[in-house]
Each structure stands twice: as structure tokens, then as C-alpha cells.
């Protein structure tokens, strides 16, 4: 989950590393640090807190250093303190390392090193790596050889960067399993290793991926990748897509606000090149690589990706008439599912690096199932190991709470269901055209719904600032939206919010209803589920609960019975999951601000989850 970056070149290492760490901070922001070769030794500066705290304390201490590594941390072992921040120095001060992952046998390694007289400066599992590399180098190994030997003693998944005062122009990296990506890029003044393309300078247009059990050594003029046996590995570079880098925040106070506000443009990114209104056609070329006949589709994801997958599973099954289910990727990875060659796993992962989802992919592939990944990061590990990778077209999302990636993922899964259904002859021309028209009109409806932000902000400040608990109710296609809305409140505003199926109210949830616990009810425009949701509103109110309804604009019946109404600006029922998501995002954002919380960087969380 941490962000790591290394530089070896002719430029100012400190300036590059600080810039890269700012771009990688969404991966972890408990602490940050830089280690660079200065003169005959290594200078290390690290601080608890954000990268800005590190930047404020450097004050020219790195001089003209041209080789270094940087790290921004999400803590797993040891509190987020200056001492536990990375990079870590070896006992002789000659080696510094930055590490992403977990070393499962660190306790045993630490005990042995301490028995040999080595004193530890931190509580982390990572520090053992620096000491192991230093011992191998003292025995005569090069930095590359010493790092490889040290890695063989580690259990668990890791990505490691290392520098040594004895090789002042080199950075070595090694990757062991799914602890995040490691990629190599050539800039105009040097070589770069990073855990994500976001850290690459603008003049880097292509990267080379370092795979499991591969090591890489960079210097100002050269880079090489070797396998575990030391054999040179030749690889073709991969071009970076335009949406791989972080955009400017511009006039927005936070990236979360920016990403909520740009959702109309984001969904157009998902549609671009795929939806043809004039010919009434959807064409996602990657789907042509799927088997012609599928017995079953299983979607899997974690967090927001899981809820987007839940919404997508409902649409795919309804449109394609293929049995479709949704699983938490971590639960799928932890059991022995009955899957086979005519099953399709759709792995939903915004980052493409989520550990549980990667393990689920491997499990599905091991039994012969086809795997498609739906992701915002086509340069990710998931994209590379799946049979098919579908870009959701949102570009990079910086705020830890997902917003535009949720809506784009739902839309791409909707389009997948339409294409599968049309190809199988399960949708009439009229049905298909109606869905195309709905998709094409979605950006305008999103913009209209976004325009109600002032009312949402007022509601957040007047009603939700002091709330401790709340309920969000939905049914059918709106149940995943209720779950996602509750997650936004939890992670952004630190409110204990429960997303519930309204069908479950009588089975225990009614016990939570009281005047101090507001309920948000997501009410569809038509059908049987609308009637049932209206009944749920009455049930909550009969127990002295306050209900704020999210409903279609002009819904007089809902407005008459609810204690408050948030309208969505569309008559199209197909728009409901997308549009009802938006006020829940805005409500979470503005409630966080009212409570003095930074919505971009919630406590204890990170954007990319690369550990179990």
C-alpha cells in the first residue's frame, strides 16, 4: 500500500523524489522519507505525517545528491512515527531501503540479528532488510547480489528498493509476489523505479514492468533486469496511456470535490469509442476475446469495487440472461470455489493492485476459468495477468474515497451486459436502443444533479455535522448504492453509517431506528419496489425516525411524506443508480468538511490495498 520511488541520474534527486512522493501520497500518508547518497555516505530524512511535513524539514540537507530513494507509508508494523518512517538504514549506515509489503518472518530474523549484536532503531518489519543487505555486502556481494540474497530469506510479499554508499550511483529494486507494482522508466536525466506510473516525470512515455522474482539495477546511464538465477531479462516497454498521471487540482479545495465534479466528463471517457449513438451500437473490443459460451459469470471486488460489481452483476444478469453473482474477492480467494472453463471471473479493481483480487484472479485461472479485469489502471498487475482488461476510462483518481471510479465502473459493467445480451440475441432492437439512449443522455443528467450541491452542503452542515449513526436504505438496483453511500460516510466523515436492504428492516435493523439516527431512503420512480420503499419510510417514521428521501425530481408523493427530499434530475429510471450516488458523495464530502476532516486522506486508510 506504500508508495516507493528511486532515482539514479544526473539531476537533483531530492527535487524529483519529493515531487514523486506527492504524486504517490494517496498510497499511504502516515509518514514519508527520503534517503540519498551524499558524499561518501547516506543522508536520510523522514517524518511522520504528510509529505509536506517532510518537505518543510529538508532545508538543503541533501546537497547535490543524484541518487536516492523515497517512501510514503501506510503503517502495518509500528506506529506512524519519525523513527518508523522509511527509508531505514543498516547498522553500519551504508545501506538504506524502502519497502512495500509485509515480512511474515521478521520476528525470527530480528531475533537472530539482535543475537548477533545488531541494534534496531525502529519497530518495523522492514528494517531487517537493510541489515541483511549490509551483511551480504560486507561479505563481498554487490548491492544487486546482496539484495537478491536478502530477499530469499524473507517470507511474504515485498517490493524493495535499496541504495548503498559503496555503489553511490545505483538503485536496486526487487519484487516478490503481489505487494504492488514496480516499474522502470527512462527520463531525460536518469532512470526511475516507482510503484505507480503517477510518479513518472512527464517525459517518460513508456515503462517496463518488473515481475515477481525479478530484480532491477539502475544507474545514470544504464538499467538491467535479471531473474532469480541472475540471467538478464529482455522486456518490451509498454506505452503509458494519457490518463495514467495525476491531473491538477485547479480551483477545487480537495481532489474528492474535483473528482465528484468531473463525473459527467468521466462517464464520457467510459463511453468514448464504445458507444455509437448514430448506429445504435456498443462495441467493447476486449469482449471479443471472451469464450463464445459462458455458463456463469462471477464478479469479485473489494470495498467500492465490490459495490460497483454488485450493481453490475444485477445488470449483466438481467440483460445477458447469464447466471451472474458477486463475491468479495477476499472471500473468494479464501475458499475453494466450484469454477471451470465455461465460467468467467470479472475482477473489479480500481487500482488493479488489490491483493485479495489478485489472489482471486490466480485462483480462477488455476481452474481454467477466463478472467476479465475492469479497472482504472491498465498498467496494473491485474491487467497484465488477466485474459482481458477493460479500462473504465476515468483516468487517475487521487482522493482515497472513490467517486468517479464507482460510477464509471457501474457504467462499463452496464455496457458489458448490453453487449453480451445483444451478441446473444437476448435483447430486442427496441430494448437495446432504449438503453443506448439512456447511456448517451447520462452525462447531461449527471451535470444537472451536480448542480444541487449548495442544497446538499446546507443539509450536511445543518443535519449531519453532529450525527453519530445513520441508515441508508435501498432495494434492487439501489441497494448497492445504499452500501456505497454508507461506505462514503464511514471513510470520509467517520460516521457509523449502515447501508441496508430495506427488505431487512424487520429482521433486526428496526432496532436501530431512533430520533438521533437519520435514515436516507433511495426511492425508485416506478414499480413494486417503489411501493415497498414508501412502506419502509412509513415504518421508520412510525418509530420516531427522520427520513430524508432521494427520489426523482417532481415526485410529489415522496415529497409529501418524507422529512426531507433530495431530487435527482432525470426522468429515466436507468439513471437512478448513477444519479442517486452523487448526492450521497456530496453529502459525505461536505459532512467531512463540517467536522474538520480532510476528505482526501481519511485516517487509517490508503487508496491502494496491496497487503492482506
3-state secondary structure 280-310: CEECCHHHHHCCCCCCEEEEEECCHHHHHHH
What architecture does CATH give domain 451-600?
Answer: 3-Layer(aba) Sandwich (3.40)
Pairwise CA distance, residues 560 & 607, whole Å: 41
Is the pLDDT confidence value at 68 over 70? yes
pLDDT of residue 612: 57
SS3 of residue 573 by DSSP? helix
Dihedral sign from CA coordinates of 564, 567, 395, 478: positive
Task: Centre a 10 Å sphere on the Cβ of residue 80 and count the other Cβ atoms it contains.
Answer: 16
Could you give phi then psi for residue 431, rounded to 5 degrees?
A: -60, -45
Q: Which helix (H) or strand (E) holds 109?
A: helix 106-115
Positive/negative CA dihedral, 409, 411, 412, 414: positive
CATH 3.60.20.10, applies to 3-240 = yes
Residue 232 pLDDT exceeds 60: yes
Q: Which pLDDT belongs to residue 588?
A: 97
3-class secondary structure per residue, 313-375:
HHHHHHHHCCCEEEEEHHHHHHCCCCCCCCEEEEEEECCCCCHHHHHHHHHHHHCCCEEEEEE
Q: Mark 317-335 as b/e (b = at least 16 C-beta within 10 Å).
A: bebbebebebbbbbebbee
- For 168-178, the pLDDT digits (tens) are 999 999 999 87
Give the HSE-up count for residue 146: Cα atoms under 13 Å, Cβ half-sphere.
28
In percent, the amount of the chain with pLDDT more than 70 equals 99
DSSP-assigned states of every residue in 417-463: HHHHHHHTT-S-HHHHHHHHHHHHTHHHHHHHHHTTHHHHHHHIIII
Contacts of 484 (CB under 8 A, 6+ apart): 304, 307, 308, 406, 499, 581, 584
For the annotated catalytic residues, the residue numbers are 2, 607
Range of lowest pLDDT (72-81, 390-399, 522-531): 72-81
Q: Which CATH superfamily is domain 246-440 in?
A: Glucose-6-phosphate isomerase like protein; domain 1 (3.40.50.10490)
451-600 has the same fold as 246-440 = yes
Q: What is the dihedral of CA 346, 348, 352, 357, to 10 degrees?
A: -80
For the entire predicted model, the pTM comes to 0.88
Rounded CA-CA distance 84/105 in Å is 18
Give the model confidence (pLDDT) of 316-368 as tens digits.
999 999 999 999 999 998 988 899 999 999 999 999 889 899 999 999 999 99
pLDDT at 115: 96
Report pLDDT digits (tens) over 363-387: 999 999 999 999 998 888 899 999 9
Q: What's residue 202's pLDDT? A: 87
Residue 241 has pLDDT above 80, yes or no: no
Domain spans of the chain? 3-240, 246-440, 451-600
d(CA 247, CA 232): 36
What digits encode the pLDDT tens for the residues 258-305?
A: 999 999 999 999 999 999 877 788 999 999 999 989 999 999 999 999
Amino acid at each position: 500500500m506504500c508508495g516507493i520511488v528511486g532515482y539514479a541520474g544526473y539531476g537533483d534527486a531530492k527535487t524529483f523524489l519529493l515531487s514523486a512522493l506527492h504524486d504517490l501520497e494517496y498510497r499511504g500518508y502516515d509518514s514519508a522519507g527520503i534517503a540519498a547518497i551524499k558524499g561518501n555516505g547516506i543522508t536520510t530524512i523522514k517524518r511522520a505525517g504528510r509529505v509536506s511535513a517532510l518537505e518543510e524539514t529538508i532545508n538543503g540537507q541533501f546537497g547535490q545528491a543524484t541518487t536516492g530513494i523515497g517512501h510514503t507509508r501506510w503503517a502495518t508494523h509500528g506506529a506512524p512515527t519519525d523513527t518508523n518512517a522509511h527509508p531505514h538504514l543498516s547498522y553500519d549506515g551504508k545501506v538504506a531501503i524502502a519497502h512495500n509489503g509485509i515480512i511474515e518472518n521478521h520476528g525470527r530474523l530480528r531475533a537472530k540479528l539482535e543475537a548477533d549484536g545488531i541494534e534496531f532503531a525502529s519497530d518495523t518489519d522492514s528494517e531487517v532488510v537493510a541489515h541483511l543487505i549490509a551483511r551480504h555486502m560486507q561479505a563481498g556481494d554487490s548491492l544487486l547480489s546482496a539484495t537478491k540474497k536478502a530477499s530469499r530469506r524473507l517470507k511474504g510479499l515485498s517490493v524493495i528498493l535499496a541504495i548503498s554508499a559503496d555503489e553511490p550511483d545505483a538503485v536496486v529494486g526487487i519484487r516478490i509476489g503481489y505487494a504492488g507494482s514496480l516499474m522502470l522508466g527512462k527520463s531525460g536525466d536518469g532512470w526511475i523505479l516507482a510503484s505507480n506510473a503517477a510518479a513518472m516525470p512527464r517525459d517518460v512515455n513508456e515503462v517496463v514492468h518488473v515481475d515477481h522474482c525479478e530484480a532491477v539495477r539502475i544507474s545514470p546511464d544504464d538499467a538491467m533486469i535479471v531473474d532469480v538465477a541472475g540471467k538478464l531479462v529482455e522486456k518490451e516497454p509498454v506505452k503509458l496511456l494519457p490518463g495514467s498521471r495525476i491531473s491538477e487540482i485547479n480551483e477545487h479545495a480537495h481532489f474528492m470535490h474535483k473528482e465528484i465534479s468531473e463525473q459527467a466528463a468521466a462517464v464520457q471517457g467510459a463511453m468514448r469509442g464504445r458507444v455509437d449513438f448514430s448506429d445504435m451500437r456498443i462495441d467493447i473490443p476486449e469482449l471479443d476475446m471472451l469464450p463464445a459460451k459462458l455458463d456463469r459469470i462471477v464478479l469479485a471486488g473489494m470495498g467500492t469495487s465490490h459495490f460497483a460489481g454488485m450493481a453490475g452483476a444485477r445488470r449483466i444478469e438481467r440483460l445477458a440472461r447469464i447466471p451472474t453473482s458477486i463475491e468479495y474477492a477476499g472471500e473468494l480467494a479464501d475458499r475453494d470455489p466450484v469454477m471451470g472453463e465455461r465460467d468467467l471471473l470479472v475482477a473489479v479493481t480500481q487500482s488493479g493492485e488489490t491483493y485479495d483480487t489478485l489472489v482471486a484472479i490466480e485462483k480462477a485461472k488455476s481452474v481454467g476459468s477466463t478472467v476479465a479485469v475492469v479497472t482504472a489502471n491498465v498498467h496494473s498487475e491485474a491487467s497484465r495477468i488477466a485474459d482481458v482488461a477493460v479500462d473504465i476510462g476515468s483516468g487517475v483518481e487521487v482522493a482515497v474515497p472513490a467517486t468517479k471510479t464507482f460510477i464509471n465502473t457501474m457504467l462499463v459493467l452496464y455496457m458489458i451486459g448490453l453487449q453480451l445480451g445483444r451478441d446473444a440475441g437476448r435483447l430486442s432492437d427496441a430494448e437495446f436502443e432504449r438503453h443506448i439512449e439512456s447511456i448517451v443522455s447520462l452525462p447531461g443528467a449527471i451535470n444537472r444533479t451536480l448542480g444541487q450541491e449548495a442544497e446538499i452542503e446546507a443539509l450536511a452542515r445543518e443535519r449531519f455535522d453532529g450525527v453519530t449513526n445513520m441508515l441508508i436504505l435501498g432495494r434492487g438496483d439501489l441497494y448497492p448504492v445504499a452500501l456505497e453511500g454508507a461506505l462514503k460516510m464511514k471513510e470520509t466523515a467517520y460516521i457509523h453509517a449502515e447501508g441496508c436492504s430495506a427488505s431487512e428492516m424487520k429482521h433486526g435493523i428496526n432496532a436501530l431506528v431512533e430520533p438521533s439516527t437519520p435514515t436516507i431512503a433511495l426511492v425508485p420512480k416506478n414499480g413494486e419496489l417503489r411501493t415497498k420503499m414508501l412502506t419502509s419510510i412509513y415504518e421508520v417514521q412510525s418509530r420516531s425516525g427522520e427520513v430524508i428521501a432521494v427520489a426523482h425530481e417532481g415526485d410529489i408523493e415522496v415529497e409529501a411524506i418524507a422529512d426531507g427530499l433530495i431530487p435527482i434530475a432525470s426522468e429515466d429510471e436507468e439513471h437512478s443508480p448513477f444519479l442517486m450516488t452523487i448526492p450521497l458523495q456530496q453529502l459525505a464530502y461536505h459532512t467531512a468538511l463540517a467536522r474538520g476532516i480532510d476528505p482526501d486522506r481519511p485516517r487509517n486508510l490508503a487508496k491502494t490495498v496491496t497487503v492482506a
